[in-house]
Structure 1
Amino acid sequence: AMSKTQWQSVETVGDQSPYVSAITGHIKTTVPLIRDNLASSRKYFTQFCIKFVNSFIPKFIQSIFKCKPLSAAGAEQLLLDAHMLKTILLGLPLVGSKVNREAPSSFTKSLLEV
């Protein structure tokens, strides 16, 4: 959906794009299942989250480069979408968790380095 959007014809910046909502929905349904299956060792789940982010972000950046041509509003919308995805990814280890704690520092550090 991201590459099929006509970014040069975007005139106003709105809420997050439909592709961000789709990614968020997939994360919210899949991550809790993976966490539950790796419940015996939190470090394996943290490593999964790190590996996911390290593979997702470069693919997202590649997709951004394929979105040419852009209007100014289209670029602003992509910036908003990127910020929303970063926020979602920062909370990745905690998605659907009943325990209220911060994401492991090793995960947060690896996300901010990418």
Structure 2
Amino acid sequence: MHDEAFWQLLTTLVETSTINIDRPRGSAHPRYPDVIYPLDYGYLSGTISGDGDGIDAWLGSQSERRISAILITVDLTKRDSEIKFLIGCTTQEQQAILTFHNRWANQSAIMVERPADI
């Protein structure tokens, strides 16, 4: 029951927010030009994450804007931890995003997939 309520609240955040893509698929990170984004990346307008900005969101290729998973990240360089929404992502896209966040020694992420029955 608690799992269902958690995923429903996340869904409501997505449904009541605009997804702003500020780093399109294939674009380079503004400070690290060798870091290329595998999918569209941005944030949810009107939300606040732990860093004071909007909640980060990865946007996949599926037409349904359903949260497929969340990432929980830790970054020792920035000394922070964040949650990132994976929206409309296939299994392969989810894995690409997880790999993207785990490629540096000073940061790591784990993925929590949304249960299929919720």
Alignment TM-score > 0.5, same fold: no
Higher relative contact order (CA 8 A, sep 6+): 1
Between Structure 1 and Structure 2, which shows a larger proportion of strand residues? 2
Between Structure 1 and Structure 2, which shows a larger proportion of helix residues? 1
